[in-house]
Amino acid sequence: MTTVNIGIIGLGTVGGGTARVILNRHDDFMKHYGYDLQIKRACALEPERAAELGIDAGAFTTDWHDVVSDPDVDIVVELIGGDHPATEIFEAAFAAGKHVVTANKALLGRHVEKLAHKAAAAGVQIKCEAAAGGGIPIVNALEHTLVGNEILTIAGILNGTTNYILTRVENEGLGFDEVLADAQRLGYAEANPTADVDGFDAAAKVAILASIGFRTRVTTDDVHTEGIRSIAPVDFEMAHAMGCTIKLLGIARNTPDGVDVRVQPTMIPQSHMLASVSNAMNAVYVVGDAVGETMFYGAGAGSFPTASAVVGDICVLAEHIAGGTVAPESEPFERSLPIRSIEDLTTRYYLRLSVEDKLGSLAEAVQVFAKHGVSVARINQNEVGSDGANTLVFVTHEASERSVQDAVNELRGLGSIRAVAAVIRIEDCGAWTDGVMDN
Amino acid sequence: MTTVNIGIIGLGTVGGGTARVILNRHDDFMKHYGYDLQIKRACALEPERAAELGIDAGAFTTDWHDVVSDPDVDIVVELIGGDHPATEIFEAAFAAGKHVVTANKALLGRHVEKLAHKAAAAGVQIKCEAAAGGGIPIVNALEHTLVGNEILTIAGILNGTTNYILTRVENEGLGFDEVLADAQRLGYAEANPTADVDGFDAAAKVAILASIGFRTRVTTDDVHTEGIRSIAPVDFEMAHAMGCTIKLLGIARNTPDGVDVRVQPTMIPQSHMLASVSNAMNAVYVVGDAVGETMFYGAGAGSFPTASAVVGDICVLAEHIAGGTVAPESEPFERSLPIRSIEDLTTRYYLRLSVEDKLGSLAEAVQVFAKHGVSVARINQNEVGSDGANTLVFVTHEASERSVQDAVNELRGLGSIRAVAAVIRIEDCGAWTDGVMDN
């Protein structure tokens, strides 16, 4: 029986869960797959973590170099996150000919291509199922099972904190700040919530998914990113009136004009599968030209769900290591599709204005929209929401982001308009399946 | 560059789609993965199929033996379905040391374990992503990505025809026969609809998924199977009144008492993710002890969606063949969990009775339920549905299948009761997540 040795760096929420799952299932893995999976080294700052998790004290170290330099370690499992020393760990592991399993979305979001190249050059693999969608088996599906497809669209609810907040704003009619404070109290949101609520976490994940799905270079910097701070109960009321709901989506579309990739609060029909995904759950909707519409649903975070993805990656490598059949990382990023500017986006828009004088502002706003060629389909000046007396809502026909932003900038300069309080794209979900082959 | 040669047997809906996808994507595969994937042989009854699909005439044969005996063929792709000659094709392929990719749910539903053993003995692999859930990447997820989990529950909408029919009965209030006839006219149902509407297709698929997910022997014969012929609009009205809908589910639960596996029209809460899956779409809900709840959604049939799954299998094998790293089939069925008798099922039941005299029948029925220890939670004698004047509906508290069936048999013997028109289990979906680890 082959022993496959792993070295885990980081024994926090995800690392601890990973260690527990591996120790729990050791005998099963041995029986089912014929390899003896051992935690040969484990690195964390507090030695008591090893004991808590049932990891052999002799395996424990506080220095990650001990893990990477151990000649017996086959797979380095990097679960500390962040840029440093994660980057150095990857490089040292590659130099030592070791595969890397990681959940580091921030690092991969920026450098997935560069790291994949380095792994390929070193003849090893990087596996990152846990880096996008947590426990949801989406990375492997894009890399392997859906490989017969040109992937056309990826649209994901990729951040549990914001989905939880939006669900409560929608269902309970509470304001963003109130729900955020409650979410922080309950542990659903961090003390510094910006990575979640401003969309950065989702941006890293959609960059990873687009890179793998479209086999091209997409980094976090390519992703036009907006958060959910401006979304209020009144926006849900208006959305419902149009048969829609609002989700923070990471959208990546592989269009003839390039990759359209963005994170935005988005209005989608209530009948769309993504609309059913509530609370802290995540989902990734994927359209392939052969398979058509698919969706993958599950927990995007949490100790054991994320560990499930990490252990899946470890086991695939272990199976191949045990069988003597492990292949180096393939280089999937040889395409270099252009990234479309957000300004070229064309869709319908929902705009909520906070005004002093409804009638006067309405006339002025209509003029501004007309000047920029933005055709208004619907105006709502009914008194809805807590600030109803001072709220005007516009829904446009299809318009370009550029024109709408020009209009918004001009509206912001008008004395009669207190604020352009929310700008929400109404996504044309029908276009997501453009290019699917007819059966 | 390595050439990987496949031989396709069957060029019908799925085989034709598979050939088209492979021919379309040949250059992409070469560029992305570094192998030259060739359709070396293709077998069908009509030679003109090869020309239609753009397959080289020299590759065409009407004799499957030519495919399996061709020494250059690495992978045999069996897409004819049925028992014979599929069984002989599998055996000949194994004897010749060739991998098999298949969508043959009927054959695998009965013999997945035996065939997997034979493949393992021959040092080759069987891959069957398309055999359960069509285009949905669920088999690979159970075999690989979710391997860190003990799979606890699999509950799938595994048949598009029945989901289409039930969706229309629900939304349009039409009777089963009327919708079936329309579905046949539109090509959603076959002239002989029994494999679909009586649940046999779903039974084969849930047997395959349970076998792979639970790593044990589950065959189609183990699956208690019921179809949807008895479901009427009134059942949906009653379900809605309880916050539920009705889906034909293939359910497999890995319980401490053995595997509970069945195909039944089932009442589930409208808020459950499976309730959102409508028309001909399929979905597989999977609970793992680490990952918790997941769901995989997509097209369960159709030429290109099924081809997507077949080509995914071919490409995974091709990648390993090209890299010289292909491992033989592992033998995942060494467990032999007992199959729980349907009689041991305990749940709540919905029963619809067609009667002559409501008041008299009600009293008699209540006595029969009491005699068998079935506690009635709710009685509806309102005049709903087209046969409302003669309809009685009972909802029970939790009861055993055995007691309910005994009561049903006795009710059927009573002169005052024309028919026990529908018996529908109200599934305790909360129990589906029993055994998930706390984060």
> What is the predicted pLDDT for the residue at B397?
98
Of residues A137, A208, A433, the one with CA closest to residue B137: A137
| Alpha-carbon span B181 to A121, nearest angstrom | 60
Residues A294 and A145 reside in one and the same domain: yes
The domain that contains B113 carries what CATH number? 3.40.50.720
**CB contact at 8 A, B395 and B361:** no
> What is the predicted pLDDT for the residue at B333?
65
Give the chain B residue whose CA is nearest to the CA of A300.
B291
How far does the CA of residue A236 sit from the closest CA of chain B (Å)? Answer: 19
Contacts of B307 in chain A (CB under 8 A): 148, 290
Contacts of A309 in chain B (CB under 8 A): 145, 148, 291
Instruction: Check if A312 contacts B (Cβ < 8 Å).
Output: yes
Instruction: Check if A144 contacts B (Cβ < 8 Å).
Output: yes
* Token couple for A36: 């003896």
| A73 occurs within a structural domain | yes
**CB contact at 8 A, A412 and A418:** no
| A333 occurs within a structural domain | no
Tell me how crowded residue B362 is: count the other CB atoms within 10 A of its CB: 17
Whether residues B147 and A311 touch (CB distance < 8 A) is answered with: yes
In sequence order, the 6+-apart residues with CB closer than 8 A to the CB of B69 are: B92, B96
Whether residues A146 and B294 touch (CB distance < 8 A) is answered with: no
In DSSP notation, B266-318 reads EEEETTSGGGG--TTEEEEEEEETTTEEEEEEEESSSHHHHHHHHHHHHHHHH
pLDDT, tens digit, 9 for 90 and up, residues B213-268: 999 989 999 999 999 999 999 999 999 999 999 999 999 999 999 999 999 999 99
In sequence order, the 6+-apart residues with CB closer than 8 A to the CB of B184 are: B190, B191, B193
Give the chain A residue whose CA is nearest to the CA of B282.
A294
Question: What domain range includes position A18?
Answer: 2-135+303-322
Whether residues B294 and A297 touch (CB distance < 8 A) is answered with: yes
> What is the predicted pLDDT for the residue at B248?
98
Give the chain A residue whose CA is nearest to the CA of B149.
A308
Instruction: Check if B310 contacts A (Cβ < 8 Å).
Output: yes
Whether residues A290 and B304 touch (CB distance < 8 A) is answered with: yes
| Alpha-carbon span B133 to B153, nearest angstrom | 16
Q: What is the mean pLDDT of residues B275-292?
A: 98
* Token couple for B427: 């599934």
Residues B276 and B160 reside in one and the same domain: yes
Residues B121 and B162 reside in one and the same domain: no
Give the pLDDT band (50/70/90) at residue B354.
very high
How many interchain CB pairs under 8 A, A with B?
206
Instruction: Check if A16 contacts B (Cβ < 8 Å).
Output: no
Residues B189 and B290 reside in one and the same domain: yes
Q: What's the complex ipTM?
A: 0.95
In degrees, rounded to 5, the angle at the alpha carbon of residue A366 between the alpha carbons of residues A364 and A371 is 95
> What is the predicted pLDDT for the residue at A332?
59
In degrees, rounded to 5, the angle at the alpha carbon of residue B334 between the alpha carbons of residues B328 and B337 is 145
| A378 occurs within a structural domain | yes
| Alpha-carbon span A55 to A41, nearest angstrom | 9
To which H or E segment does residue A247 belong? Answer: strand A244-255
Q: Which amino acid is at B360?
A: G
Instruction: Check if A437 contacts B (Cβ < 8 Å).
Output: yes
Strand partners, B268: B245
Residues A22 and A149 reside in one and the same domain: no
Contacts of A303 in chain B (CB under 8 A): 439
| A181 occurs within a structural domain | yes
How far does the CA of residue A88 sit from the closest CA of chain B (Å)? Answer: 27
Instruction: Check if A211 contacts B (Cβ < 8 Å).
Output: no
Residues A9 and A126 reside in one and the same domain: yes
Which site among A274, A294, A306, A317 would you substitute to test the B interface, given the most B Cβ atoms closer than 10 Å to its Cβ? A294
Is A247 a catalytic site residue?
no
| Alpha-carbon span A267 to A245, nearest angstrom | 6
Residues B402 and B361 reside in one and the same domain: yes
Which domain-ending residue is among A265, A298, A331? A298
> What is the predicted pLDDT for the residue at A34?
85
In DSSP notation, A381-419 reads -S--STTGGGEEEEEESSEEHHHHHHHHHHHHT-TTEEE
Residues B289 and B402 reside in one and the same domain: no
Instruction: Check if A344 contacts B (Cβ < 8 Å).
Output: no
How far does the CA of residue B302 sit from the closest CA of chain A (Å)? Answer: 6
Whether residues B319 and A327 touch (CB distance < 8 A) is answered with: yes
How far does the CA of residue A351 sit from the closest CA of chain B (Å)? Answer: 30
Whether residues B292 and A310 touch (CB distance < 8 A) is answered with: no
In sequence order, the 6+-apart residues with CB closer than 8 A to the CB of A310 are: A14, A18, A77, A79, A101, A103, A129, A130, B148
| B244 occurs within a structural domain | yes
Residues B158 and B239 reside in one and the same domain: yes
Q: Which residue out of A98, A118, A127, A205 is catalytically annotated?
A: A205
Give the chain A residue whose CA is nearest to the CA of B127.
A145
Instruction: Check if A269 contacts B (Cβ < 8 Å).
Output: no
Q: Is A104 helix (H, G, I), strand (E, B) or coil?
A: coil
Q: What is the mean pLDDT of residues B80-108?
A: 96
Residues A101 and A164 reside in one and the same domain: no
How far does the CA of residue A383 sit from the closest CA of chain B (Å)? Answer: 31
pLDDT, tens digit, 9 for 90 and up, residues B134-183: 999 999 999 999 999 999 999 999 999 999 999 999 999 999 999 999 99
* Token couple for B30: 């070469």
| Alpha-carbon span B109 to B204, nearest angstrom | 4
The domain that contains A292 carries what CATH number? 3.30.360.10
| Alpha-carbon span B358 to B184, nearest angstrom | 36
Residue indicated by tokens 């090509």: B187
Residues of A numbered 29-48 whose beta carbons fall under 8 angstroms of chain B's beta carbons: which are they?
31-34
Whether residues B148 and A303 touch (CB distance < 8 A) is answered with: no
| B332 occurs within a structural domain | no
Query: What's the number of domains chain A is made of?
Result: 3
Contacts of B279 in chain A (CB under 8 A): none
Q: Which residues of chain A have pLDDT under 70?
A: 325, 330-333, 383-387
Compute the radius of gyration of chain A from its Cα atoms: 24
Q: Is A355 helix (H, G, I), strand (E, B) or coil?
A: strand
Contacts of B35 in chain A (CB under 8 A): none
Q: What are phi and psi of A413, to 5 degrees?
A: -85, -10
Contacts of B294 in chain A (CB under 8 A): 135-137, 296-299
pLDDT, tens digit, 9 for 90 and up, residues B356-369: 888 889 999 999 99
To which H or E segment does residue A314 belong? Answer: helix A303-322
Residues of A numbered 72-101 whose beta carbons fall under 8 angstroms of chain B's beta carbons: which are they?
none
pLDDT above 70 as % of chain B? 97
Average pLDDT score over chain B:
94
Give the chain A residue whose CA is nearest to the CA of B305.
A291
Residues A58 and A123 reside in one and the same domain: yes
Q: Is A331 helix (H, G, I), strand (E, B) or coil?
A: coil
Of residues A426, A27, A80, A296, the one with CA closest to residue B145: A296
Contacts of A37 in chain B (CB under 8 A): none
| Alpha-carbon span B424 to B229, nearest angstrom | 12
Residues of B numbered 213-252 whose beta carbons fall under 8 angstroms of chain A's beta carbons: which are they?
215
| B327 occurs within a structural domain | no
Tell me how crowded residue A41 is: count the other CB atoms within 10 A of its CB: 26
Q: Which residue out of B40, B118, B127, B205 is catalytically annotated?
A: B205
| Alpha-carbon span A276 to A260, nearest angstrom | 24
| B141 occurs within a structural domain | no
| Alpha-carbon span B397 to B348, nearest angstrom | 5
In degrees, rounded to 5, the angle at the alpha carbon of residue A32 between the alpha carbons of residues A29 and A35 is 50
Instruction: Check if B273 contacts A (Cβ < 8 Å).
Output: yes
The answer, yes or no, to whether residue B114 has pLDDT greater than 90, is no
Pick B308's closest partner by Cβ from A32, A273, A288.
A288
Pick A148's closest partner by Cβ from B308, B325, B334.
B308
pLDDT, tens digit, 9 for 90 and up, residues A26-69: 999 988 888 999 999 999 999 999 999 999 999 999 999 999 99
Which domain-ending residue is among B260, B288, B322? B322
Instruction: Check if B156 contacts A (Cβ < 8 Å).
Output: no
Whether residues A290 and B135 touch (CB distance < 8 A) is answered with: yes
Instruction: Check if A307 contacts B (Cβ < 8 Å).
Output: yes
Residues A23 and A126 reside in one and the same domain: yes
Instruction: Check if A156 contacts B (Cβ < 8 Å).
Output: no
